[in-house]
Amino acid sequence: MENFIVSARKYRPDTFASVVGQEAIVRTLKNSIRNNQLAQAFLFTGPRGVGKTTTARIMAKTINCTNITDDFEACNECDSCRAFNESASFNIHELDAASNNSVEDIRNLVEQVRIPPQSGKYKVYIIDEVHMLSQAAFNAFLKTLEEPPAYAKFILATTEKHKIIPTILSRCQIYDFKRISIADIAEHLAYIARQESIEAEEDALHVIAQKADGALRDALSLFDQIVSFSGGKVTYLNVIENLNVLDYEYYFKLTDAILQQDVSGALMIVNEIIQNGFDGQHFLGGLGQHLRNLLVSKDPQTVQLLEVGKNVKNRYLEQSKQVSTSFLIQALAINNDFDLQYKASNNKTLHLELDVLRLIALPGVPEDKEPVIIPRRDERKSEPAKTTPEKKDIPPAKKSTTPEATVTPKAEPGKKDVVPQKPEPEPAKTIPERTPEKPVEEKMQKPAPEIAAQTVAEEVKTNERPKPAGVQEPSSTPYRKEEKREKKESPASGMLDVLGMGFDTKAEEKKQKTAEEKIIRNAPVDEASVQQAVDKYAEQIKENKFLYTSLKAYPVKLRDKQVVFSLDNDVQQKALDEKKSDLLLFLDNELNNNSLSITEEIVEETGKIDRRALTNDEKLAEMRKLNPELDLFMGQLKLRLDE
């Protein structure tokens, strides 16, 4: 049986062209070789599995190649390249700083640097995990790193650049390796699958790439694991089953239930996810990613940000048409808040269900601002026709805007044709002129508010009727109708109102009314009545012996509106503070006065017995006061106070 070689080693890049996802760094290194501008030290930093050590090996192999290609790649045919491929090169040295991090190890390295290469042009020292070197080792390495021999090149690799001292960083050319994109990882996995004659679905490879989190080595390890599990065929179902990944289907079904305001269906989906053993934090993160994918799917310019397979991408494009952008933004904010609060929640399942219920409540918020402008204008036009028959007692002067009303015996002949042409200025002139005695008597019989209301209504009608038909008029009526429509449109409002999800819009009004209705009572009180009320309260809390004793210890004092309690220590003060609100409410009911306040003062009474607990030192001091011979007695018997 042949020894199995994992894909991470078998398909490890051996040329610059085969490095995945680091095009900018590869281009810079090749240009430095082309221009013969090689620095004495390089620092490759970045996350795990992104190609730092691999690139360092390719760099060392290429600069020692004696027959370099036109594309500045190693030829893999010369003696130096063959020795490197067989791991027998004397010019390339790798040092693991995690296990060789002492000053002695660095001294040995410095001694090796003094020996020039026997064959080849450069001696290259690759130090992996260089951040593990001790402080003394870094200091011992400084001088050699800054001024090495011309034939010596150092390539340092680390995942934690911040742990390297600044003096080392200043002597190196720093190359930051980025995380490899999901598309690049999926493409590389597809290439390996073709080389190994393995059937692999595109969606399955994208899931593996997402799970790897930008590390190609992790992706190759997962790929080998799935191939072993599925027997040579990588499918989407095999991947989500083996890697314990939440299927996209869950999020699509849950989003449909949220948009349909199907409370029971959404809760059953959440329960199914929990029963399958998925972590709640993982579910919240996946739901946020799903909402984000729907948001970027709504614009053709941002669709390219989707890092999924073609089939899943089409489903995102279809579902994004059913959701509005404002809904997605609010949903993302709500889900993010629940994600941040998940660890602090005691009932994890309820926390997830509340998140889904808050999302279901969002479609009830008025989303569409454009719907009913024209129908509401039609309703507005039809309202005056209904209201005109009700006002039969309006004087003739109030109907001056109609053609019939303008021709009256008392109207001036010269103003018959002027009124229809200039509707705004004429009513002001005709109203004082047309004041017959009968309408005046009718006005005198009516209360002044009714006359003012009719005058305002007349002016509004006079200004409204001559306006062109195409002019829109602001009105508050449509907004009142919209609020009623919102309450009818939310089938889940009953359940969500019980949960306190924001459907009760009268809560603040009730609080304001309660504050306004509060009556200030200020009945006269004196120290005797206050003392009697306090004694009555003390009898009710007699089970709390400590507070009962504190209230009974000293008489109560009354200073203006302040009830002053004299206490012995801070402990009594803290006990009284805990019951201060209850005591104030009791005094309010007993004395019919809610303007009183409570203050405490710590007093020391000479005639009062000190009931506080004494420490051992204090007890010994008291005993010395009673018997001065105590120290002599303790000295003779060699007694001491236990601590």
Q: Are residues 21 and 47 in the same domain?
A: yes
Stretch 518-529: mean pLDDT: 79
Q: Are residues 254 and 238 in the same domain?
A: no
Burial 459-496 (b: 16+ CB within 10 A, else e): eebbeeeeeeeeeeeeeeebeeeeeeeeeeebebbeeb
In a domain, 512, yes or no: no
Q: Are residues 160 and 45 in the same domain?
A: yes
- Give CA–CA dist 554/570, Å, rounded: 15
In a domain, 399, yes or no: yes
In a domain, 441, yes or no: yes
Are 308 and 206 within 8 A, CB to CB? yes
591 pLDDT higher than 70: yes
pLDDT of residue 117: 87
SS3 content of the chain, % helix, strand, coil (to 5): 55, 5, 35
**Per mean pLDDT, which of 222-231, 253-262, 594-603 is the most reliable?**
253-262
Q: Is 407 or 534 the better-scoring residue by pLDDT?
A: 534
570 pLDDT higher than 90: no
Domain stop point among 317, 341, 364: 364
Q: Are residues 167 and 186 in the same domain?
A: no
In a domain, 639, yes or no: no
In a domain, 113, yes or no: yes
Stretch 326-353: mean pLDDT: 91
pLDDT of residue 126: 93
pLDDT of residue 130: 92
150 pLDDT higher than 80: yes
Main-chain phi, psi angles of 346, to 5 degrees:
-85, -40
CATH of the domain at 280: 1.20.272.10
Q: Is 382 or 19 the better-scoring residue by pLDDT?
A: 19
Q: Are residues 359 and 426 in the same domain?
A: no
CA distances from 63 to 15, 56, 158, 213 (A): 12, 11, 22, 32
Mean pLDDT is lowest, of 28-32, 166-170, 308-312, 364-368, for 364-368
Are 224 and 195 within 8 A, CB to CB? no
pLDDT of residue 162: 92
Q: Are residues 356 and 253 in the same domain?
A: yes
45 pLDDT higher than 90: yes
Mean pLDDT is lowest, of 34-38, 56-60, 379-383, 449-453, for 379-383
Q: Are residues 236 and 253 in the same domain?
A: no
pLDDT digits (tens, 9 = 90+) for 183-221: 899 999 999 999 888 888 888 898 899 888 889 999 999
362 pLDDT higher than 70: yes
pLDDT of residue 567: 85
Q: Where are the beta strands (DSSP E) in 101-203?
A: 123-128, 152-158, 173-176, 199-200
Whole domain around residue 106: which residue ranges? 7-176
In a domain, 615, yes or no: no
| CB hemisphere CA count around 114 (13 angstroms) | 5
Domain stop point among 146, 176, 206: 176
Enumerate residues 6+ apart whose C-beta is below 8 A from 348.
Answer: 280, 342
Q: Are residues 326 and 424 in the same domain?
A: no
3-state secondary structure of 332: helix
CATH of the domain at 226: 1.10.8.60
CATH of the domain at 40: 3.40.50.300
CATH of the domain at 580: 3.30.300
pLDDT of residue 585: 87
Q: Are residues 172 and 188 in the same domain?
A: no
Q: Can you spell out the DSSP letters for 391-406?
A: -----GGGGTTSHHHH
Stretch 294-306: mean pLDDT: 87
Full-prediction pTM beyond 0.75? no
Average pLDDT of the chain is 77
Structure tokens at 348: 């994890």
Share of the chain above pLDDT 90, in %: 24
pLDDT digits (tens, 9 = 90+) for 244-253: 788 888 899 9
Parallel, antiparallel or unpaired: strands 173-176 and 152-158: unpaired
427 pLDDT higher than 50: no
When divided into structural domains, the chain yields a total of 5
In a domain, 110, yes or no: yes
pLDDT of residue 101: 86
pLDDT of residue 518: 55
561 pLDDT higher than 50: yes
Q: Are residues 14 and 143 in the same domain?
A: yes
State the DSSP code for 640: -
pLDDT of residue 172: 92
pLDDT digits (tens, 9 = 90+) for 105-145: 999 999 989 988 887 789 999 999 999 999 999 999 998 99
Cα dihedral 205→207→213→214 (10° resolution): 30
Q: Are residues 151 and 69 in the same domain?
A: yes
Q: Are residues 128 and 235 in the same domain?
A: no
Domain stop point among 584, 602, 620: 602
Please name the amino acid found at residue 415. K
pLDDT digits (tens, 9 = 90+) for 470-523: 444 444 444 444 444 444 444 454 554 544 454 454 555 665 555 555 567 778
pLDDT of residue 603: 77
1 pLDDT higher than 80: no
In a domain, 562, yes or no: yes
pLDDT band at 155 (very low <50, low <70, confident <90, very high): very high
